[in-house]
Amino acid sequence: MEIPYTISTRPDTGLWNAKIGIWLFLASEVMLFGGLFSAYIFLRIDAAPGMWPHGLLNVPVGTMNTAILILSSVTVVLAWASLKMRRYRAYWWYMLATISCGVIFLTVKLAYEWPQKFEHFGAYIKPEALGKYEKYLGNERRAEKGMEPRIEITGHLHSQNAKEYEVALDPVNAEPDNPSMDRPHFFPLPVTDKVATIEKEDVDRATMFLPTHSAYFASYFTITGLHGMHVLGGVLVFIYMWLPVSKRLYQRNPEHLANRVEVSGLFWHFVDLVWIFVFPLFYLL
């Protein structure tokens, strides 16, 4: 049996079916991400002073990924327009560009950004022991300037025994009184040679930068993870439409393929749109 209204409009809705389907789906997606974003707002407003980290993510890489997603949104529109003009060859190339952008985005996220976090270490110092680590925290100066206190020492974990952590410090803890450390840097600074010894009994909790590290990283990994799964889903659908199996549909009914590309494009733009909010919220602010 032929599926009805794949290209012709349904009289009562005035739309072909997939179009209304994708918009209903996107409406539910808005609620899905909306819930997570409202959790983000809630966690962030509720964070105690010093508990919401800034400048821990790699801004140039995040900017590049944003640009890649925007570019892929452009190429998917061009792919659709090429189909409308019945230029399959051009469609094929634009689709390949879109798929490549999605794959690059995911690779950067999963093979570079996330693993870098997994090997970064942070130790939250107990309130009563903060004074002992003043030379890594610089809180006297921060208090004078009316800034939130630093309560965490971060860097690379060199070694640990039953009593202590040995941490190669991040620049922010190596030179805590340097005014250039007051704000995050655009290009992340590498871990320094300076090693600090932190006694375990002074530590509230210490983890790698995993979801267990803080509410910040928990929401970061949840939201970027869910977003990444959407990118993966989009890429898989695009691959299907790029393979020879879709060329057969094109030869039989080009408008049907164009409509398929249009609705998956709508999904893709939505994924791009979510990222437009994720990027400033997690990387910049």
Partner 1 sequence: MVGALLLTFTAVTVALSYVDFGTRKANIGIAMLVATLKAGAVAAVFMHLAAEKRLIYRILIFTGFFVLGLFWLTFLAWYDYPIFR
CA of residue 157 relative to chain centroid, distance: 25
Select 66 or 224, whichever has its Cβ closest to partner 1: 66
Strand, helix or coil at 13?
coil
User: Which of residues 51, 77, 129, 237 is near partner 1 by CB under 8 A?
Assistant: 77
Scan residues 14-33 and list those touching partner 1 (CB under 8 A): 14-15, 19-20, 23-24, 27, 30-31
Q: Does 111 bind partner 1 (CB under 8 A)?
A: no
Please tell me the distance from the alpha carbon of residue 238 to that of residue 12, in angstroms, as a whole number: 30
Report the amino acid identity of residue 222.
T
Query: Residue 207 in 3-state DSSP?
Result: strand
Q: Which residue in the set 132, 141, 194, 269 belongs to the binding site for partner 1 (CB under 8 A)?
A: 269
Does 279 contact partner 1 by CB under 8 A? yes
Q: Which is nearer to partner 1, 35 or 131 (CB)?
A: 35
Residue 205: what are its φ and ψ, rounded to 5°? Answer: -155, 150
> What is the pairing mode between strands 121-125 and 203-208?
antiparallel
How many residues touch partner 1 under the rule CB under 8 A: the total is 41
Nearer CB in complex with partner 1: 133/283: 283
Least Å from the CB of residue 157 to partner 1 = 29
Using the contact rule CB under 8 A, the part of the chain among 82-90, 135-143, 194-202, 269-277 near partner 1 is 269-277
The residue length of the chain stands at 285
Of the residues 17, 58, 73, 173, which one makes contact with partner 1 according to CB under 8 A: 73
Contact between 145 and partner 1 (CB under 8 A)?
Answer: no
Contact set for partner 1, span 168-197 (CB under 8 A): 183, 186
- Minimum distance, C-beta of residue 198 to partner 1, in the bound complex (Å): 29
Q: Which of 5, 7, 51, 63 binds partner 1 (CB under 8 A)?
A: 63
- Residue number with CB closer to partner 1 (70 or 229): 70
Cα distances (Å, whole numbers) of residue 240 to 21, 234, 251: 19, 10, 16
Question: Is residue 14 helix, strand or coil?
Answer: coil
Contact segment (CB under 8 A) with partner 1 among 41-49, 161-169, 190-198, 201-209 equals 41-49
Torsion of CA 240, 243, 249, 250, to 10 degrees: 120
Angle at 96 between CA 91 and CA 99, to 5 degrees: 125
State whether the Cα torsion 155-39-229-184 is positive or negative: negative
Residue of 124, 123, 126, 108 lying closest to 57 (CA atoms): 108
Burial of 210 per CB tally in 10 Å (0-12, 13-18, 19+): middle
Q: Answer yes or no whether residue 270 interacts with partner 1 by CB under 8 A.
A: yes
- Which 248-267 positions form the footprint of partner 1 (CB under 8 A)? 265-266
Q: Is 71 in the site for partner 1 (CB under 8 A)?
A: yes
Q: How far is the CB of 107 from partner 1 (least distance, A)?
A: 20
Helix 17-46 and helix 254-279: axis angle, to 10°? 10
**Which residues make up the interface to partner 1 (CB under 8 A)?**
13-15, 19-20, 23-24, 27, 30-31, 34-35, 37-38, 41-42, 45-46, 59, 63, 66-67, 70-71, 73-74, 77, 183, 186, 265-266, 269-270, 272-273, 276-277, 279-280, 284-285
